[in-house]
Amino acid sequence: MAKVLVTGGCGYIGSHCVVDLIHAGHEVTSVDNYMNSSPNVLESIQKITGVLVKNHAVDLCNLPAMDKVFSEVRPNAIIHFAALKSVPESVSKPLLYYRNNLVGVINLLEMQKKFQVKDLIFSSSCSVYGNPSVLPVTEDTPMGIAESPYAHTKQVSEEIMRNFSASHPDFRFIFLRYFNPAGAHDSILMGESPTNEALNLVPVITETAMGKRSQMWIFGDDYDTRDGTCVRDFIHVMDLAAAHTLSLNRMTSTDTTGLEIFNLGTGRGITVKEAIQSFERISNVTLNYKVGPRREGDVISIYSDYTQAAKLLGWKPQRGIDEIMDTAWKWEQVRSKSLSDS
């Protein structure tokens, strides 16, 4: 059993990972300042696992506050999710993204060094590859030109940790490069619940179907893809969560050292139009959408090769786009009812 500090543990991916970690027998403490999350998720985690997880409502950019957290918790592993993650928002507010995401990483490494926490798993992104010329991408695919400040913060964060790892060879790092997380927990007790405006495709789809939006936009249908819309690799959030637990198990049960990188995706590219068609088929709801101009910061097409994760972590995705849409739609209905009742 590991004593794990999860930064961003009340966020979308972090909360699902907390559930998977608890089910695997690990002790979890969260750090989340609720910038784009809610303390209500702690109740959902307790309902699913029977465990009330303690959260420290602390900003990672506040180094003295983080020092107090580490002094109290004394973790032996860290999983780092806490970062701003909207591509369009990063384009309009680049300094906010650079300050929050990079200072947070630096402070976390300072704490890792001071308290000798040997193992850190970093929530990275396929956006580090830019617009790749060869698909699917592998872990050896070179980093491309970042298409957004958000993507650049992931590239720089990886480089900061890579340099730290080189100078501290007794510390272990795993970078998990996500593709497009979506869907909800099978219990439908929690899912994606952004407190700010939803900008990811799947919650935009479900909010449109629920009537929270009068219509949704497809940003460009003139790309060089099979139907003109962008191609993404959608990965179910619980498949993603399982990879973190397997990564932690690898760190704590093997003699691995240094730094490892794993892509986490299904290996299948889905266009925006195909994602919409999947939702309409699953829900029997016809979406009101229009096609608009391309959106700055969007990568044209990307999907993964997850061979490395399958080989070394024993991981493979269990769910596809239809399961993603099914759980996301069920969650949207539960969430909307809860909001209307409150």
* Cβ neighbour number for residue 284 with a 10 Å cutoff: 7
Q: Pick from 196, 215, 190: which is nearest to 205 by CA? A: 215
Q: Who has greater pLDDT, 225 or 88? A: 225
Residue 101 to residue 98: CA distance in whole angstroms: 6
pLDDT on residue 196:
75
The answer to whether 147 and 131 are in contact (CB under 8 A) is: yes
The class level of CATH for 3-185+235-265+304-317 reads alpha beta
34 in catalytic set = no
pLDDT grade for 252, boundaries at 50, 70 and 90: confident
Active-site option among 150, 178, 303, 306:
150
Torsional class of 297: left (φ above 0), alpha (ψ -120 to 50), beta (otherwise):
left
pLDDT grade for 339, boundaries at 50, 70 and 90: low
The answer to whether 58 and 66 are in contact (CB under 8 A) is: yes
CA-CA-CA-CA dihedral for 185, 45, 127, 93, to nearest 10: 120
* pLDDT tens per residue, range 31-68: 999 998 999 999 999 999 999 999 999 999 999 999 99
pLDDT on residue 125:
95
Backbone phi, psi, residue 115, to 5°? -100, 5
* pLDDT tens per residue, range 314-332: 999 999 999 999 999 999 9
Residue 245 to residue 235: CA distance in whole angstroms: 16
Name the strand (E) or helix (H) holding 183: none
Q: Measured at the alpha carbon of residue 310, what is the angle toward residues 305 and 311, in degrees to the nearest 5?
A: 110
Name the strand (E) or helix (H) holding 291: strand 289-292
Label each residue of 184-212 as H, E or C. Answer: CCCCCCCCCCCCCCCCCHHHHHHHHHHCC
DSSP 112: H
* pLDDT tens per residue, range 109-143: 999 999 999 999 999 999 999 999 999 999 999 99
Q: Pick from 125, 16, 105: which is nearest to 61 by CA? A: 105
Half-sphere exposure (Cβ direction) of 52: Cα atoms closer than 13 Å: 0
